[in-house]
Amino acid sequence: MQQQQKNTGLVWFRNNLRVNDNISLKKAVENHKKVIAIYFFDPKQFKTDVFGFQKTAKFRTKFLIETITNLKNNLADLNITLLTYFKNPENKISEIIDVFSVDAIYTQKEWTKEEIETNKAIKNSISTTISFVEDYDQFLYHPDLVSKDFSKIPNVFTVFRKKLEKTVSIEKEVSISKLSRENLLEDTTEIPTLKELGFNDFETPPKTAFPFSGGENEALERLNDYFFKTKKVGFYKKTRNGLVGINYSTKFSAWLANGSISAKTIYWKIKEYEAEFGANQSTYWVIFELIWRDYFKYISLKYNDKIFKIGGILDKDYKWYNYPKDINKWINGETKDDFVNANMIELKETGWMSNRGRQNVASYFAKELLLDWRIGAAYFESVLIDYDVHSNYGNWMYVAGVGNDPRDRKFNTQLQAERYDANYKFRKMWLDKTLF
């Protein structure tokens, strides 16, 4: 590879896999004559964790490959080349910097332990003259506008939400300019296949509630469909606890998790919908859920690694168990509870589970079986298409009674089943093998 002209910006994509409303991309394009982009399929993300689960299993991996394929095409439309590697970023970025004469790296700011360790390793491998520019770009409410001191974030969601809604405004989306064709590079890198990442190809059952592909284009199509074609957003509050089908909920979470779409993009589309068709409780409730998503990120900023500790953010000293037999029965949908079983089989076969299902199976795991909640959280991390570190661990702590639930509730899974699956439609779908 030939040395390139100085003044090259490198956009290192992480969980911000989009070209719309991407501050790292915007800054690189505005500040540099040349811009290149890079994405790492980091081998650390496919290793086995301390509980014996592969950190990223087949469902999210396939979704990620689809996402990066779409990102590469969308960046090419802006005349930006995306280089892709199945390598540790800390072992490759310094080489890329030297080859392309990069003088600044732009990336999304992350703050959880593994990401910070990767950042440190990269900074140690590159010259101190290289700018390392990180931006918070995964929030609805930007941290700079929310608090100068994250230790003051309230421990009760309602207090947090009411203050933000009163005092903090939501920023507009940013747009990215197209570069000239001279910016494109000859790209010899390839996006790894499922097989190269260690998986056999597979088909998800057609009955899945999440039949969508990865990528920004699919995310925007879903947004348009849910808001403007079907107008299902106008009924969201009534249907959001559903279990069967595509449209009981927005299904935005998987694209939000890897940053194929920004929370701001969803927010401003809701405002567009409300201007045209009117606001109601349902349109507000989608925003309400986006604020919950923000909240778990702020709790993670406040408490750092405590969100991964067995005592949670409350330092609770509960007695937890680790019985492999009970854990495997839960994973395989073989417990005494048919509602839990149906939800766990859906997760195992599709990589998806409804919000209502997640709360029930997590409560059953932690409060009924008294199993170490971190094991359940690690299994979700492995299998869920829409895994997001902050929401996953925040919700598991909440349900396990070591997080932000002031009432420390336990779900009565049978009453929940009677309420949300009275006709047995969901349970039959996943438990009766003769039906499908």
Enter the tokens of residue 147.
């608090």
Contact 184, 223 (CB under 8 A): no
* Across 260-275, average pLDDT: 98
Out of 53-57, 175-179, 329-333, 405-409, least confident range = 405-409
CB-CB contact of 81 with 187 (8 Å)? yes
CB neighbour class for 107 (10 Å; exposed up to 12, middle 13-18, buried from 19) = buried
Tokens of 183: 């910016």
> Can you tell me the distance from the alpha carbon of 241 to that of 209, in angstroms, rounded to the nearest whole number?
13
d(CA 366, CA 361): 9
**Domain chopping of the chain, boundaries:** 8-137, 216-303, 309-428
Q: Any idea what DSSP says for residue 36?
A: E
Mean pLDDT, residues 284-292: 97
The highest-level CATH class for domain 8-137 is alpha beta
What is the model's pLDDT at position 433? 67
Q: Is domain 216-303 annotated with CATH 1.10.420.10?
A: no
User: What is the DSSP-derived secondary structure letter of residue 240?
Assistant: T
Percent of the chain past pLDDT 70, that is, above it, reads: 97
Kindly give, in sequence order, each residue whose CB lies less than 8 Å from that of residue 22, ignoring residues fewer than 6 positions away. 16, 137, 174, 176, 262
Instruction: Please provide residue 354's backbone torsions phi and psi, each rounded to the nearest 5 degrees.
Output: -65, 160
Arithmetic mean of pLDDT, 139-153:
96
Kindly report, residue by residue over 154-181, the tens digit of the pLDDT: 999 999 999 999 999 999 999 999 999 9
pLDDT in tens, 1-11: 444 434 899 99
Q: Are 178 and 75 in contact (CB under 8 A)?
A: no
> Of the candidates 268, 282, 103, which has an alpha carbon nearest to the alpha carbon of residue 170?
268
101: phi then psi, degrees, rounded to nearest 5? 50, 50
Task: Name 350's Cβ contacts closer than 8 Å, sequence gap at least 6.
Answer: 59, 204, 205, 208, 209, 210
- pLDDT-derived band at 436 (thresholds 50, 70, 90) equals very low
For domain 309-428, which architecture applies?
Orthogonal Bundle (1.10)
Residue 435 scores a pLDDT above 60: no
Whether 289 contacts 373, CB under 8 Å: no
* pLDDT at residue 333, as a whole number: 98
Length of the chain, please?
Answer: 436
Cβ contact 307:313 at 8 Å: yes
pLDDT > 90 in the chain, percent: 94
Residue 356: is its pLDDT beyond 60? yes
